[in-house]
Amino acid sequence: MTGSEENADTGAAAGRGGTALRVDDLAVVGHPSEVEIISGVSLTLERGHILGLVGESGSGKTTLGLSLLAHCKRATEVSHGTIEVSGNALTGLGEKEVRRLRGRAVAYIPQSPASALNPALRLRTQLTEALHEWDEQERGPRADRVREVLREVALPDDDAFLARYPHQLSGGQQQRVAIAMAFAGYPDVIVMDEPTTGLDVTTQAHVLQTIRSMTRDYGTAGVYISHDMAVVADLADDIAVMYKGEVVERGAAARVLAEPEHPYTRRLLRAVPLLRTEGHPEPEELPEAPVLELSGVQAGYGRTIVLRDIDLEVRRGECVALLGESGSGKTTLSRSVAGLHTQFSGGMVFDGEVLARSSYRRTPEQRRRVQYIFQNPYEALNPRKRVRELILAPYTHLAGKPKDPDAVVARALERAALPASYAARYPEQLSGGERQRVSIARAISTSPDLLICDEITSALDVSVQAEIVELLRNLQDGGMALLFVTHNIALVSNIAQKVAVLNKGEIVEHGHVGEVMARPRHGYTRALIADTPDFELSLPPSDADLQAPEAAGQ
Amino acid sequence: MSTADTASGAAPAAPVRRPGLLRTAWRFHRTKIGVVLAGAVLLVAAAGPFLSPFSPTEGAGMPNSASAAGTLFGTDEVGRDVFSRFLHGGYTLVTIAVASALAGVAAGAVFGIVAGYLRNWADELIMRTNDMLLAFPQLVLALLLLSILGPKVWLIVAIIALSHANRVARVTREATLKVVEQDFVKSAEAIGVPRWRIMAAEILPNITSPLLVELGLRITYSVGTIATLSFLGMGLQPPQADWGLMINEGRTAITIQPWAVVLPVTAVAVLTIGANLITDGLSRASIGIDRGVEK
């Protein structure tokens, strides 16, 4: 249905046409609660097409993706519906028959290549394993096929490379090996579960390019699971939007992006940060001294130096973004400012006073005024404490015992846009976005002057990310200075006034956001901007659907 | 916007918390069976002294008679009632076992958390001392100290607790290392919370699951060690009633009066199996086997 509408424009694949995948009224339930994790899902997909399956975490994307492989996670099972791959029903088959079909009819590219490849096996062994149903009589030796598929994903095919172990490859190479494994057996359908999430933008661009050309050349139908609308807009022919276990909208990509029908789709689209904004009004340089001033900071671990000659200033009410890919040293820098990383030299002045290296050597007042928010909200809150305690304990430690503790907690929660009743909850009763809000509430309860945000949205869905950014903007309007560490260039445009681009431990470009985005001077910045999937929103800017009450609760 | 909605409007009902470790463990059949088995033995040990028909040290008939008049399981080699001695003999064993396991786990947890969190010379000192003690066979060490200082109850508790502490410290240190890497510990460090309070308030509550499992295991091992020491004559001394001692005293006449051995052996075995089943249930619950889909 969705695929047949635009069967014509896919070149090579069109010749091999036909439906590769048909899912009809599929439901998966979990035991022992009998909750329907996904329900009433119907999909069709043509050969050579890619279906983008989008939705936030917990919407059932992965469950659906795995069920296409006739695999269900522990304590779940397909309760209803059928899955057909090239006309063969997958549902109702025995374990042995399913195993024969995997890799040949359906293949899978997992989210994290590092954990998907067996660290104890050489690449040759792993790639050959993927050809377990390969008929050597008919199709030639397996070894030849392995080399061929490696060439196709633009990796070396020599013996030295085949003899390597996964840890000897970069993240992007590992993911391309995973792609090669999946495509090796000429599958009809390939399921990709957020295969670029852990990769930086440059590598992501390469991997997406590989996926695109491989599906076209092989006439394989691809199901690409992601929460990143920008990537899906770039890659997919069709889009299916999942929300609370159901497909709420599906259709050709161009149509869904231009004229979304379902309110949730619209909300998802609007949450995607735009790469190029007009830039914020350039604030005049105030004469007052900066809150934080770094000069010639050099930091490292043991003898390895990861940061060199860092000069940076953050003023009141200003947000400075620190942009860099993994390994650029951005977290080391932010942890040094927070007093968690002590192996650094150079000047670090906070409001006119030199900051000691370790947080334990700093004055209580300095510790109160510099607060840090962590990347992963699932690890930043002690799971054994209630929200009330999580906020009160640091508050009491830094600002003394409050006269009215409930008021302190309520005020902090309110500033983080959470209801006061959340004080009684434990972290596990909160969603990822809510946890991050609690982290923010904890950090701002003592009214700090400098807030360091270390990739605080990278573990969150796009829609939640937009809300957190909004929240930070409000805090900034209240006079708080922000040091916003991120690898997401699109976010920088949306929150920061100034940006410092960090490459291999050095700041290669520094200036106002509008200027850097519009006229990047350094080659590295230009490459970063070029590799980021650009996403132009064609929706009218305001819509009543934005008021959907579930937005914060997910 | 949506954010304001949640802030001002009524909060949605809180999702149900996942049941705690103990409740999850209780769902396994093995845990229930374990509780019944261990509970039965503990009941015998606790209530036994009040129910026994004879004093554990008074003569009740001819020695080594399996069917002496007025006794349920006959008499032992000096004519005391086997059943009465059995009822009296569990109390000391269980008390010593629980006390030494508690002391050992507590000490081991302290050493393990300190070593795992500080990761400096204290870690080296604690863990290397630990390795030295671990290299020494547990039973030989116990026999050596007991033969020098004499078999005293407090010494038995201390020796067994020490040998537990080594092993618990290793486990605790590993569990601590996992918790220390998490950001909530860093968050407390960033605002300068004292180290001891981080260990007590942030780390300890997050390693209770492995500690509970250890406690169960250590009680079991204590029972075995105490019974062994008594059997070797280095534990409790005659004429005191004790299961380990009874096995030792009764073994020579096992063919004519098997009850003097069978009763205490069964009790020790049932207690050990029961405690192991409970521990197994706890550890399954803590690693989340068979959790299924809830909510």
Is A552–B206 a contact, with Cβ atoms under 8 angstroms apart?
no
Is some CB atom of chain A closer than 8 A to the CB atom of B17?
Answer: yes
Bond preceding residue A405 cis, omega within 30 of 0: no
Give CA B173 to chain center in angstroms. 19
Predicted confidence pLDDT, tens digits, chain A (554 residues): 444 434 333 333 344 567 888 999 988 888 777 788 888 899 899 898 999 998 887 788 888 888 888 888 777 888 888 888 888 888 877 888 888 888 788 888 887 777 788 888 999 999 998 888 788 888 888 889 999 889 888 888 889 999 998 888 877 888 889 888 988 888 889 999 888 876 777 778 888 888 888 888 888 999 999 887 888 888 899 999 998 889 999 999 989 888 889 998 888 888 877 766 555 555 555 567 788 999 999 998 888 888 989 999 998 888 999 998 877 888 889 999 999 888 889 889 998 889 888 889 999 889 999 999 998 888 899 988 889 999 999 999 988 888 899 999 999 998 888 888 888 888 888 888 888 989 999 999 988 999 999 888 877 777 788 888 888 888 888 888 999 998 888 888 888 889 999 988 899 999 888 888 888 889 888 888 888 877 666 555 444 444 444 434 43
Is B293–A76 a contact, with Cβ atoms under 8 angstroms apart?
yes
Of B205, B236, B214, B238, nearest to B56 by C-alpha is: B238
Measured between beta carbons, the chain B residues lying within 8 angstroms of A397 are 191-193
> Which pLDDT belongs to residue A276?
62
Q: Return phi, psi of residue B277, to 5°.
A: -65, -40
Give CA A119 to chain center in angstroms. 24
3-state SS string for A438-462: HHHHHHHCCCCCEEEEECCCCCCCH
Q: How confident is the model at residue B137 (pLDDT cuts 50, 70, 90)?
A: confident
Is some CB atom of chain A closer than 8 A to the CB atom of B6?
Answer: yes
Taking CA–CA distances from B294, the nearest residue in chain A reads A33
Is B190–A471 a contact, with Cβ atoms under 8 angstroms apart?
no
Measured between beta carbons, the chain B residues lying within 8 angstroms of A371 are 190-191
Please give the model's pTM, rounded to 2 decimal places: 0.75
- Burial of B43: CB neighbours in 10 Å, binned 0-12, 13-18, 19+: exposed
Half-sphere CA count of A140, side-chain side, radius 13 A: 7
**Beta strand A481-486 with A319-323: parallel, antiparallel or unpaired?**
parallel
Of A86, A62, A7, A96, nearest to A194 by C-alpha is: A62
Q: How confident is the model at residue B174 (pLDDT cuts 50, 70, 90)?
A: very high
Of A224, A216, A142, A221, nearest to A184 by C-alpha is: A142
- Per the CB < 8 A criterion, the answer to whether B2 and A549 are in contact is yes
3-state SS string for chain B: CHHHHHHHCCCCCCCCCCCCHHHHHHCCHHHHHHHHHHHHHHHHHHHHHHHCCCCCCCECCCCCCCCCCCCCCCECCCCEEHHHHHHHHHHHHHHHHHHHHHHHHHHHHHHHHHHHHHCCHHHHHHHHHHHHHHHCCHHHHHHHHHHHHCCCHHHHHHHHHHHHHHHHHHHHHHHHHHHHCCHHHHHHHHCCCCHHHHHHHHHHHHHHHHHHHHHHHHHHHHHHHHHHHHHCCCCCCCCCCCHHHHHHHHHHHCCCCCHHHHHHHHHHHHHHHHHHHHHHHHHHHHHCCCCCECC
CB-based contacts of B235, cutoff 8 Å, min separation 6? B151, B156, B226, B227, B228, B229, B242, B244, B245
Measured between beta carbons, the chain B residues lying within 8 angstroms of A364 are 192
CA A245, CA A256: separation in Å to the nearest integer? 19
Is some CB atom of chain A closer than 8 A to the CB atom of B13?
Answer: no
Is some CB atom of chain A closer than 8 A to the CB atom of B201?
Answer: yes
Half-sphere CA count of A82, side-chain side, radius 13 A: 9
Taking CA–CA distances from A336, the nearest residue in chain B reads B190
Q: Return phi, psi of residue A205, to 5°.
A: -60, -40
B5 pLDDT higher than 50:
no
Is A419–B206 a contact, with Cβ atoms under 8 angstroms apart?
no
Amino acid at A81: G
> Which pLDDT belongs to residue A285?
58
Residue B293 is nearest to which of A33, A382, A422, comparing CB atoms?
A33
The domains located in chain B, with CATH, are 20-47+55-287 (1.10.3720.10)
CA A34, CA B155: separation in Å to the nearest integer? 55
Average pLDDT over residues B272-295: 74
> Which pLDDT belongs to residue A1?
41
- The size of the A-B interface in CB pairs under 8 A is 128
Q: How many CB atoms lie within 10 A of CB A287?
A: 5
Of B178, B197, B177, B176, nearest to A394 by C-alpha is: B197
Provide DSSP, A468-485: HHHHHHHHHHTT-EEEEE
In angstroms, the separation between the Cα of residue B92 and the nearest Cα of chain A is 36
CA A385, CA B46: separation in Å to the nearest integer? 37
Is some CB atom of chain A closer than 8 A to the CB atom of B135?
Answer: no
Q: Return phi, psi of residue A132, to 5°.
A: -65, -25
Determine which of A62, A267, A379, A483 to mutate to test the interface with B (most B C-beta atoms within 10 Å).
Answer: A379
B39 pLDDT higher than 70:
yes
> Which pLDDT belongs to residue B9?
41
Residue A467 is nearest to which of B3, B190, B293, comparing CB atoms?
B3
B118 pLDDT higher than 70:
yes
Give CA B48 to chain center in angstroms. 21
- Per the CB < 8 A criterion, the answer to whether A217 and A148 are in contact is no
Determine which of B289, B293, B294, B295 to mutate to test the interface with A (most A C-beta atoms within 10 Å).
Answer: B293
- Burial of B255: CB neighbours in 10 Å, binned 0-12, 13-18, 19+: exposed
Residue A552 is nearest to which of B2, B193, B291, comparing CB atoms?
B2
Is A380–B3 a contact, with Cβ atoms under 8 angstroms apart?
no
Residue A418 is nearest to which of B2, B7, B14, comparing CB atoms?
B7
Determine which of B5, B6, B186, B189 to mutate to test the interface with A (most A C-beta atoms within 10 Å).
Answer: B6
Residue positions counted in chain A: 554
Is some CB atom of chain A closer than 8 A to the CB atom of B1?
Answer: yes
CB-based contacts of A14, cutoff 8 Å, min separation 6? A7, A8, A48
Of B242, B94, B234, B78, nearest to B156 by C-alpha is: B234
Is B1–A470 a contact, with Cβ atoms under 8 angstroms apart?
yes
- Per the CB < 8 A criterion, the answer to whether A471 and A416 are in contact is yes
Residue positions counted in chain B: 295
**Beta strand A319-323 with A498-503: parallel, antiparallel or unpaired?**
parallel
Residue A397 is nearest to which of B2, B14, B193, comparing CB atoms?
B193
Measured between beta carbons, the chain B residues lying within 8 angstroms of A74 are 292
CA A531, CA A381: separation in Å to the nearest integer? 34
Measured between beta carbons, the chain B residues lying within 8 angstroms of A432 are none
> Which pLDDT belongs to residue A280?
54
* Helix or strand holding residue A406 (H, E): helix A405-415
Radius of gyration of chain B, Cα coordinates, nearest whole angstrom? 24
* Percent of chain A topping pLDDT 70: 91
The domains located in chain A, with CATH, are 4-111+188-271 (3.40.50.300), 292-379+448-537 (3.40.50.300)
Question: A428: which DSSP letter?
Answer: G
Structure tokens at B47: 């209530």
CB-based contacts of B94, cutoff 8 Å, min separation 6? B41, B42, B45, B46, B223, B271
Q: How many CB atoms lie within 10 A of CB B113?
A: 24
Radius of gyration of chain A, Cα coordinates, nearest whole angstrom? 25
- What is the tens place of the pLDDT at every residue in B55-110? 777 776 777 777 766 677 777 777 788 888 888 888 888 888 889 999 999 999 99
- Per the CB < 8 A criterion, the answer to whether A513 and A497 are in contact is yes
Measured between beta carbons, the chain A residues lying within 8 angstroms of B10 are 419
In angstroms, the separation between the Cα of residue A367 and the nearest Cα of chain B is 5
Structure tokens at B2: 């949506």
Is some CB atom of chain A closer than 8 A to the CB atom of B120?
Answer: no
Is A382–B205 a contact, with Cβ atoms under 8 angstroms apart?
yes
**CA A380 to each of CA A40, A239, A414, B181, B199: distance values in angstroms, whole numbers, following the listed order:** 37, 34, 20, 10, 16
Residue B14 is nearest to which of A31, A364, A429, comparing CB atoms?
A429
CA B204, CA B197: separation in Å to the nearest integer? 10
Question: For residue A483, what are the β-bridge partners?
Answer: A320, A452
Question: For residue A46, what are the β-bridge partners?
Answer: A19
Structure tokens at A522: 């350094």
CA B86, CA A60: separation in Å to the nearest integer? 60
Is B187–A394 a contact, with Cβ atoms under 8 angstroms apart?
yes
Determine which of A373, A382, A396, A470 to mutate to test the interface with B (most B C-beta atoms within 10 Å).
Answer: A382
- Per the CB < 8 A criterion, the answer to whether B180 and B194 are in contact is no
Amino acid at A161: F
Amino acid at A361: R
- What is the tens place of the pLDDT at every residue in B43-65? 988 888 888 777 777 776 777 77
Q: Is A279 helix (H, G, I), strand (E, B) or coil?
A: coil
Largest CA distance in chain A: 82
Half-sphere CA count of A391, side-chain side, radius 13 A: 35
Q: How many CB atoms lie within 10 A of CB B149?
A: 11
Structure tokens at B50: 């009040």
In angstroms, the separation between the Cα of residue A537 and the nearest Cα of chain B is 19
Average pLDDT, chain B: 83
- What is the tens place of the pLDDT at every residue in A444-495? 998 899 999 988 887 777 778 888 888 888 888 888 899 999 888 888 888 8
Is B293–A75 a contact, with Cβ atoms under 8 angstroms apart?
yes
